[in-house]
Amino acid sequence: MDLFSEIKASTLMATAIYSLLGMSMFGIALLVMIQLTPFSIRKEIEEDQNTSLGIIIGSAFIGLAIIVGAVMGS
């Protein structure tokens, strides 16, 4: 019983589509966050070492990942 023989093409295609959809949603969310903030996120995190901003952005991505995962599971 080979592991790859049981994987269907439709399952692989659905996984690829959901992966691309999730990655595009993460990109769109990052662009929205960059547009809404009155300061440079990159400068704040890299140069000023603003750890709290990094935690907030990471939390937003974790929340988005939970939503995307819930949509994929249903």
* Cα(2)–Cα(30) distance, integer angstroms: 41
The predicted model scores a pTM of: 0.70
Is it the case that residue 1 has pLDDT exceeding 70? Answer: no
Sequence-separated (6 or more) residues with CB below 8 Å from residue 32: none
Contact indicator for 60, 29 with CB cutoff of 8 Å: yes
Nearest to residue 59, comparing CAs of 38, 29, 39? 29
Give tens-digit pLDDT for 11-56.
888 888 888 988 898 899 889 999 999 999 989 999 999 999 999 9
Contact indicator for 65, 73 with CB cutoff of 8 Å: no
Contact indicator for 41, 57 with CB cutoff of 8 Å: yes
